[in-house]
Amino acid sequence: MAWSACPAYIVTMTVSAKPVTPVAGQGAGTPTVWVDGKWCDRASATISVYDHGLLYGDGVFEGVRVYGGKIFRLSEHLERLYDSAKAIWLTIPMDRQEMTAITEEGVRRSGITEAYVRHIVTRGVGDLGLDPRKCAKPSVLIIVDTIKLWPEQVYEAGLSVITAGTPIPHRESLSPRVKSLNYLAHILAKIEGIHAGADEVLMLDSAGAVAEGSGQNVFVAKNGRLKTPPPYAGILKGVTRDVVMDLAAKAGYHVEESVLNRYDVYTADEAFLTGTATELVAIRQLDGRIIGSGKAGPITRDLRARFQALVRS
């Protein structure tokens, strides 16, 4: 892969395999991992090579943020985790209360106050065949660590985005509403963006409608009205998306779910992405077309400020 074409910060991030050293302001602490009943550190957290999560991407996951030691929207994330598992015939071997308690304990043990939590449930250890009946018990992993997708200047300037040639999977195949361990289409799209020197990608559905980013939902603002694609289009129904729709409605903006074409993004006054890891970040250009003023516009800045206030409230 021609990494030399990438912006320097992407190369730095991809080669870094060192344990995370908490940065001042990110909450000191140590990455902490629950592996099927055992608390581990980063080095000792290992799973079997016969786990079907690894062999086939057979499993589901969640990503949750912790702000100032408080877990943000855990119950919404766990609802989606259990729904994703149900959709793929996977029975999580603990109830939501227990999952909540273990997550809270992991955050406490880690001592990381500005954390990112990754829940992973795999089909478990089987043999080399596909048959999930060979997997005696699903595995549950909970990683408490930190995350930062782009350097600060990218958040300030807004993202340069290209449309990826790789569409999201068809909703009646592996529906993107299932947050499954198979993210290959989204990763291929991300690599297309990296090769093009872009910060992020816009993915379309197989009919060409605007779907989502590689790990974000998308919003546009035109004449003071906000629009975002509907979940029935087959996108992941983002927890951050729902929070931002709610914040926007409470702030008096008109918000609607609507099928969007790239034209709607090119000609928007503002466009932005939302996601747990991403939070809320402006798109400054798409496919070489400058969006609005070419930087975060007033609605994006207002909603970002409201979002930052909410997560710390």
Ligand X SMILES: Cc1ncc(COP(=O)(O)O)c(C=O)c1O
Residues in the site for ligand X, rule: CB under 6 A?
63, 186, 212, 215-217, 236, 238-241, 274-276
Tell me the closest approach of the beta carbon of residue 178 to ligand X, in angstroms.
Answer: 11
Helix 298-311 to helix 239-250 angle (10° resolution) is 110
Tell me the closest approach of the beta carbon of residue 186 to ligand X, in angstroms.
Answer: 6
Q: Which residue is nearest to ligand X (CB)?
A: 238
Tell me the closest approach of the beta carbon of residue 59 to ligand X, in angstroms.
Answer: 15
Instruction: Return the exposure string of 169-189: e unless at least 16 CB atoms fall within 10 Å of the residue's CB, then b.
Output: bebeebbbbbbbbbbebbeeb
**Parallel, antiparallel, or unpaired for β 70-71 and 38-40?**
unpaired
Closer residue to ligand X in complex, CB, 137/312 = 312
Cα–Cα distance, 285 to 160 (Å, whole number): 5
Tell me the closest approach of the beta carbon of residue 66 to ligand X, in angstroms.
Answer: 14
Q: What is the DSSP letter of 22?
A: P
Closer residue to ligand X in complex, CB, 36/257 = 257
The set of long-range contacts for 94-102, using a CB threshold of 8 Å and a minimum separation of 24, is: 94/140, 99/140, 100/74, 100/75, 102/34, 102/142
Tell me the closest approach of the beta carbon of residue 260 to ligand X, in angstroms.
Answer: 15
The tokens for 127 are 């043999």
